Chain A
Amino acid sequence: MTNFLLLPIILPFLTAILLMFAPKNIIYQRTLTMIGLIITTGCSLALIQIVHTSGIQVVTFGNWPAPFGISMVADMVAVLLITTSVIITLFTVVYSFKSIGIAREKFFYYPGVLLMLTGVNGAFMTGDIFNLFVFFEVLLMASYLLSVIGGEKKQLRESMKYILVNVVSSALFVITVALLYSVVGTLNMADISVKIAEINQPGIITTIGILFLVVFGLKAAIFPLFFWLPSSYAAPPVPVLALFGALLTKVGVYAIMRTYTLFFVHDIGYTHMILLVLSVLTILAGCIGALSTFNVKNIIIYNIVIAVGVILFGVAQMNDTSMIGAMYYLVHDMLIKAALFFLVGIMIFLTGTENLRKMGGMMRSYPSLAWTYLIAAFGLAGIPPLSGFIGKMLIVKGGFEADHIWSSIWILLSSLVVLLSVIRIFIYGFWGEEKRLVAVEKRQGYWRLYIPATILVAITVFYGVGAEWIMPYMRDAADVLLNPSVYTDAVLKE
């Protein structure tokens, strides 16, 4: 049973392989994907309980002693993010049944989704810096497929840019790992942490830390490196967009969190101040973008950028309160972004346009959709009983504790801009005179999109209301992040 923690990686991978044998049989594809994902969800929920009761789980492949083999480390940070990713993928698959289209389903759509999940889960769980690179490539390769599948002109154009940016950032990742290896002489993350503590982080390690920030910042879309994100996320169809928006940038955020709490903790005044400044600028850039557009997809896409900034602001404080807040907000943001993309996708499905100015008055025909959207929008902005509140409150509180007064106020102000940007969709789309809707026969089966979206919104509401119940898990996660020795002792226990 020590290998139990590998199941969230292995199960999607095996399912993807089995799916490749009968790509044209849609019933086989759909049922097998659902079975695989439901079992994976069960396993990852069980894994949370195991990690909560009996501490960090570690497996080093091939019975090699810890720094020499590849370690897989299931700490609370990793298992929480894995569970969230699996749940989001499950709902995205249900949503895809109606929205992605038969042609794409017959062309390895579900294997693509599952392989991306494999890469995401592997990246969350790995304890080896080069293995992290490999899992990044697994998820990126699957995301290239998903972004171009269907082959529309727009997708071809945008995925070329997306691939180019990621090829460059992967090369930078390899270079950075090479430099780090030449300084510390090891690849195991726990061992790297110990070695850096022994040499007390000389200048070269700080340089490597900034290089890591550039590499992961390209994946996570932080301020000067987010330029690729809006157009390349707007190109693929909605379920793919929901997967990308919920999972891909968050892997980059997780990698920054991990390296900046485990490796580069001896010169916080420099590295974390840069992280702080960049996160504030990221929020500014996202706010400007979210207000600049009337395309419903793009409004939510720019909100991804804002959320990345908020989470990294929490990480940059390096105190208990804000780290719990960052973890809480990270999980919240993954769930709420997927839900919002689903809902916006339904609006596009019903009206046949992405332009907010051409929508209007959908409240009359679809009141339940309108109220669900309003709850999700309030959740995103952080209205108290809902899920966005506690995370952001703790982050801001941590900011005040660390004496970063103005930037914390800036976080609060950004919430107003977030609220304005999403409420604009509500006002333009649902209020006013009824404008265009597509023909009735094309709107058939709308509930098949509405149900997964609503359940996901319900989960986020529960996540906000049940904060008391979830908080112990978040505290465990923040504990691992703030005390590198907990992590390194668990991995290097021999």
Chain B
Amino acid sequence: MEVLMAFVIGFLFMAAVYLILSKSILRIIIGTGLLSHGAHLLILTMGGLTNDAPPVLAEGAKNMADPLPQALILTAIVISFGVTAFFLVLAYRAYQELGTDNIDELRGKLKDD
């Protein structure tokens, strides 16, 4: 199971790297989204994938899944959510002000430099 997940996560990273290296800013942001998905799945996988019960005490099960990676992922998800929201608004503002979404055209010097 872990091997399968490793391949899936590797594919996500590959797609993310490809998108981040492209020219359009929206593709880059989609790439960062895929990158954080890959990272979160990696935490889950690295914590160990077992057939145990969900980590809730009330069920009375003997073996439970590792609760720590789930807490880490929850934290990482909200953080990347906040950063992505900020990044999207920034991309919108930059599009309004600079009139382009092409990273290549953001090189060099601006007129007001």
Contacts and interface: CB of A to CB of B under 8 A. Distances in A.
B94 A174 contact: no
A181 B69 CA distance: 9
A159 interface: yes
Interface stretch (A145-153, A387-395, A407-415, A435-443): A145-153
Interface of B: 20, 25, 28, 32, 35-36, 38-40, 42-43, 45-48, 68-69, 72, 75-76, 79-80, 82-83, 86-87, 90-91, 93-94, 97-98, 106, 110, 112-113
Contacts of B68: 181, 187
Given A148-B90, A167-B83, A178 B39 contact: yes
B14 to A, nearest CB: 14
A159 B110 contact: no
A377 to B, nearest CB: 26
Interface string A270-301: 00000000000000000000000000000000
Contacts of A130: 72, 75
B29 to A, nearest CB: 9
Given A167-B32, A168-B35, A157 B83 contact: no
Given A153-B112, A174-B39, A160 B91 contact: yes
A157 B94 contact: yes
Going nearest first, the 4 A-B pairs with the smallest beta carbon separation are A182-B46, A178-B43, A178-B46, A174-B39
B39 A182 contact: no
Contacts of A148: 90
A171 B86 contact: no
A134 B79 contact: yes
Given A141-B83, A159-B90, A134 B75 contact: yes
17 contacts: A141-B82, A141-B83, A151-B97, A153-B112, A154-B112, A157-B94, A157-B98, A164-B28, A164-B87, A167-B32, A167-B87, A168-B20, A170-B83, A174-B39, A178-B45, A178-B69, A182-B48
B32 to A, nearest CB: 5
Given A137-B79, A153-B97, A154-B113, 9 more contacts: A144-B90, A153-B112, A156-B97, A167-B32, A171-B80, A174-B39, A177-B43, A178-B42, A178-B43
Contacts of B93: 151, 156
A163 B106 contact: no
Interface string A215-248: 0000000000000000000000000000000000
Interface residues of A, number: 31
A194 interface: no
B90 A182 contact: no
A34 interface: no
Contacts of B46: 178-179, 181-182
Interface of A: 130, 133-134, 137, 140-141, 144, 148, 151-154, 156-157, 159-161, 163-164, 167-168, 170-171, 174-175, 177-179, 181-182, 187
A177 B82 CA distance: 20
A157 B110 contact: yes
A236 to B, nearest CB: 14
Contact of B42 (A157, A168, A170, A175): A175
Nearest to A134: B75
A31 B97 CA distance: 34
A161 B94 CA distance: 12
Q: Which of B36, B43, B80, B112 has the most CB of A within 10 A?
A: B43
Contacts of B80: 167, 170-171
A81 B87 CA distance: 30
Contacts of B79: 134, 137, 170
Contact of B94 (A133, A160, A175): A160
Contacts of B20: 164, 168
B90 A153 contact: no
Contacts of B113: 154
Q: Which of A141, A164, A178 has the most CB of B within 10 A?
A: A178
B39 A175 contact: yes
B97 A171 contact: no
B49 to A, nearest CB: 11
A134 B75 CA distance: 8
B99 to A, nearest CB: 10
A477 to B, nearest CB: 30
B94 A181 contact: no
Contacts of A171: 32, 35-36, 38-39, 80
Contact of A160 (B25, B35, B43): B25
A132 to B, nearest CB: 12
Given A160-B94, A164-B28, A174 B83 contact: no
A152 B20 CA distance: 25
Contacts of B76: 133, 174
A168 B17 CA distance: 10
Contacts of B90: 144, 148, 156, 159-160, 163
A153 B35 CA distance: 28
A159 B25 CA distance: 13
A257 B55 CA distance: 36
Contacts of B28: 164
A168 B16 CA distance: 10
A163 B83 contact: yes
B15 to A, nearest CB: 13
A170 B42 CA distance: 14
B71 to A, nearest CB: 9
Contacts of A161: 106
A207 to B, nearest CB: 14
